[in-house]
Amino acid sequence: MSDDRLIIFDTTLRDGEQSPGASMTKDEKVRIAKALERMKVDIIEAGFPIASPGDFESVQAVAGAIKDSTVCGLARALAKDISRAGEALKHANSSRIHTFIATSPIHMKMKLRMEPDAVLEQAVEAVKMARKFTDNVEFSPEDAGRSETDFLCRVIEAVIDAGASTINIPDTVGYNVPSQFGSLIHTLRERVPNSDKAIFSVHCHNDLGMAVANSLAAVQNGARQVECTINGLGERAGNAALEEIVMAVRTRQDLFECDTGLDTTQIIPCSRLVSGITGFPVQPNKAIVGANAFAHESGIHQDGVLKSRETYEIMRAQDVGWSENKIVLGKHSGRNALRSRLNDLGIELNSEEELNDAFARFKELADKKHEIFDEDLQALVAETSWSSENERFKLVSLRVCSETGEIPEATVVVSVDGKERNSIATGSGPVDAAYKAIEQVVKSETELQLYSVNNITSGTDSQGEVTVRLSKSGRIVNGQGADTDIVVASANAYINALNKISDGEYSREHPQLGDV
Ligand code: KIV
Ligand code: ZN
């Protein structure tokens, strides 16, 4: 890799999933991984295989599905973790094992209860073992941001000698500030005698809101890999946001001596996909991917932009994948027009059957909504993959009465294992009534943790996209639904989540990185 290339290592599926509630199923992880691959992300950290059978299977599935990006699995510096990661990545086209152990005084003393020399030895053993599975080994001294520089230098030199080709410096607790973190990277590269044999990477958390700034300071000091997540998802306050790093480097080429190989037009579709699947909405004023990121409200700004875009815009909205909100298809469009527009959006359907299904849904939508936008198509295809033939629960019909001064009432017919069941319930609103009616049939005993509705496009005929988060005995799932009728979208999202929880496909607590 040449020195002017900045490697993008996406950890949405691993650190991103450590956000409380951001659980994803195996299929959802594969969908996100494919979107990351389409965006030309260099490395996808697919999970932490030792954490649970679900994590193992997800890493395995991503490794099998991805051809162009390198797929990475996380492992503590322990033999059992490393062999589990090696096993999960066995069939990857290109694989990496990322092994880590903490090096800060507080972590070594209080968490690991180990002396520094023993930590160093374990780090070296871990890298040597990982090299038996792949030539591509990354090592992270966890909590490097609070580690002693002399000790860090010793550990880094030793693990490079043992065969690590990437050294990742994590600011695990988001404690650093840009000038300090930049100079740490500079010092490490200067002082570690074999530093030229490895690529330096950074992994910054956002506890003080400086994850992106710290990462960029590191890049200016020679880091050539950045670990980041879509929408800045991640443990606690999150990780550095991929879209912000990538666009900062691309926009300020006068300041950075490197650039990424990313197709930035895939940023918005990816951001939407991750937000829909995890149920973590993107705040409207979020840089790059927020709904207002390119909106000019003030008259002076609007006038300036109309005269010359550069007066108030430093990036082009379409370069990050915002569409011009043009009507793309209508009621009379045919299957080929749909297929071709989906291709333009970088969406591949896997079979004629999937195209037929998407087309049927498209016709249904076109009957309700005259103007179909790119965003509608994206939601429609996502919906095709939310539901599958062998689900236990299906919404057959829903009728809701809502009138001023009257208590809302819902009547539902839900198919359970192929048998139709009816139910009527009242609630404080139409969605509450519908959920109660469904619950009377399903008796899931789940707890509703999140209910959110977002409009997919503008206008009162826009589809509403609903995300529902349910928990049961420590398991968390997210369900999605989209429809021009938000009560129907809500019922579909609830049924989608119930299917996931009953499937048991995804059952685990979040991995505990500290449990060594
Ligand atoms: O934040 C952190 O230190 C991590 C490591 C596993 C790299 O996520
Ligand atoms: Zn992290």
Residue 513 CA: nearest ligand 1 atom is: 6
Examine the domain organization and report whether 434 and 405 are in the same domain.
Answer: yes
Quick check: 19 and 233 in contact, CB under 8 A? yes
| pLDDT in the model for residue 1 | 67
Close Cβ partners of 322 (under 8 Å, ≥ 6 residues apart): 268, 294
Q: Which helix (H) or strand (E) element contains residue 170?
A: strand 166-171
Q: Give the domain-ending residue among 339, 358, 385.
A: 385
What 3-state DSSP class applies to 287? coil
Examine the domain organization and report whether 95 and 166 are in the same domain.
Answer: yes
Rounded to the nearest whole angstrom, what is the distance from the C-alpha of residue 172 to the centroid of ligand 1? Answer: 6
Single-letter code of the amino acid located at 426: T
Residue 484 CB less than 6 A away from ligand 1: no
Rounded to the nearest whole angstrom, what is the distance from the C-alpha of residue 201 to the centroid of ligand 2? Answer: 13
Whether residue 516 lies inside any domain: the answer is no
The candidate with the shortest Cα–Cα distance to 475, out of 20, 2, 3, 15, is 20
SS3 letters for 328-389?
A: CECCCCCHHHHHHHHHHCCCCCCCHHHHHHHHHHHHHHHHHCCCECHHHHHHHHHHHHHCCC
| pLDDT in the model for residue 379 | 81
Angle between the 53-65 and 79-88 helix axes, to the nearest 10 degrees? 40
Rounded to the nearest whole angstrom, what is the distance from the C-alpha of residue 3 to the centroid of ligand 1? Answer: 24
Rounded to the nearest whole angstrom, what is the distance from the C-alpha of residue 142 to the centroid of ligand 1? Answer: 6
Rounded to the nearest whole angstrom, what is the distance from the C-alpha of residue 39 to the centroid of ligand 1? Answer: 24
Domain membership of residue 374 as a residue range = 324-385
Cα-only R_g, the chain: 24
Question: Which residue's CA is minimally distant from atom 4 of ligand 1?
Answer: 172
Q: State the DSSP code for 5.
A: B
Examine the domain organization and report whether 113 and 35 are in the same domain.
Answer: yes
Of the residues 43, 205, 236, which should be mutated to test ligand 1's pocket, given the most ligand atoms within 8 Å of the CB?
Answer: 205
| pLDDT in the model for residue 194 | 98
Write b or e for each residue in 275-294: b if 16 or more Cβ atoms lie within 10 A of its Cβ, otherwise e: bbbbbbbbeeebebbebebb
Whether residue 286 lies inside any domain: the answer is no
Q: What are phi and psi of 316, to 5 degrees?
A: -95, 130
Number of neighbouring beta carbons within 10 Å of residue 365: 21
Angle, CA 85 vertex, CA 84 and CA 88 arms, to 5°: 85
Question: Which residue's CA is minimally distant from atom 8 of ligand 1?
Answer: 15
Rounded to the nearest whole angstrom, what is the distance from the C-alpha of residue 45 to the centroid of ligand 2? Answer: 11
Quick check: 155 and 189 in contact, CB under 8 A? no
Residue 100 CA: nearest ligand 1 atom is: 6
**Strands across the sheet with 393-401, in order?**
393-401, 409-416, 419-426
Structure tokens at 15: 């650190």
Structure tokens at 340: 């071709």
Whether residue 283 lies inside any domain: the answer is no
Rounded to the nearest whole angstrom, what is the distance from the C-alpha of residue 90 to the centroid of ligand 1? Answer: 23
Of the residues 19, 96, 142, 236, which should be mutated to test ligand 1's pocket, given the most ligand atoms within 8 Å of the CB?
Answer: 142
Quick check: 9 and 260 in contact, CB under 8 A? no
> 448 - beta bridge partners?
470
Examine the domain organization and report whether 302 and 380 are in the same domain.
Answer: no
Whether residue 66 lies inside any domain: the answer is yes
- CATH number of the domain at 162, please: 3.20.20.70
Of the residues 203, 214, 228, 516, which should be mutated to test ligand 1's pocket, given the most ligand atoms within 8 Å of the CB?
Answer: 203
Examine the domain organization and report whether 237 and 303 are in the same domain.
Answer: no
| pLDDT in the model for residue 508 | 42
CA distance 413 to 315: 49
Examine the domain organization and report whether 345 and 267 are in the same domain.
Answer: no
CA distance 377 to 342: 7
| pLDDT in the model for residue 507 | 38
Examine the domain organization and report whether 309 and 421 are in the same domain.
Answer: no
CA-CA-CA-CA torsion sign (184, 186, 191, 196)? positive
Could you tell me whether strands 43-47 and 70-76 are parallel, antiparallel, or unpaired per DSSP bridges?
parallel
> 5 - beta bridge partners?
259
Examine the domain organization and report whether 120 and 151 are in the same domain.
Answer: yes
Q: Quote the number of domains for the chain.
A: 4
Examine the domain organization and report whether 139 and 215 are in the same domain.
Answer: yes
Residue 18 CA: nearest ligand 1 atom is: 8
Q: Give the domain-ending residue among 385, 404, 426.
A: 385
SS3 letters for 272-284?
A: HHHHHHHCCCCCC
Residue 143 CA: nearest ligand 1 atom is: 3
> 423 - beta bridge partners?
412
Residue 227 CB less than 6 A away from ligand 1: no
Quick check: 88 and 59 in contact, CB under 8 A? yes
Number of neighbouring beta carbons within 10 Å of residue 300: 10
The helix, strand and coil proportions of the chain, stated in percent and rounded to the nearest 5, come to: 45, 20, 35
Rounded to the nearest whole angstrom, what is the distance from the C-alpha of residue 11 to the centroid of ligand 2? Answer: 8
Whether residue 515 lies inside any domain: the answer is no
User: How long is the chain?
Assistant: 516
Q: Which ligand is nearest to the CA of 99?
A: 1
Whether residue 514 lies inside any domain: the answer is no
Quick check: 415 and 393 in contact, CB under 8 A? yes
CA distance 156 to 188: 9
Examine the domain organization and report whether 406 and 419 are in the same domain.
Answer: yes
Residue 172 CB less than 6 A away from ligand 1: yes
Whether residue 285 lies inside any domain: the answer is no
Examine the domain organization and report whether 12 and 123 are in the same domain.
Answer: yes
Q: Residue 94 CA to chain centroid, in angstroms?
A: 21
Collect the ranges in the chain with pLDDT lower than 70: 1, 296-297, 324-327, 384-389, 504-516
Single-letter code of the amino acid located at 388: S
CA distance 421 to 441: 7
Looking at every residue in the chain, the average pLDDT score rounds to 91
Q: Give the domain-ending residue among 369, 385, 401.
A: 385
Examine the domain organization and report whether 123 and 264 are in the same domain.
Answer: yes
Whether residue 2 lies inside any domain: the answer is no
CA distance 458 to 4: 41
Q: Which helix (H) or strand (E) element contains residue 313?
A: none
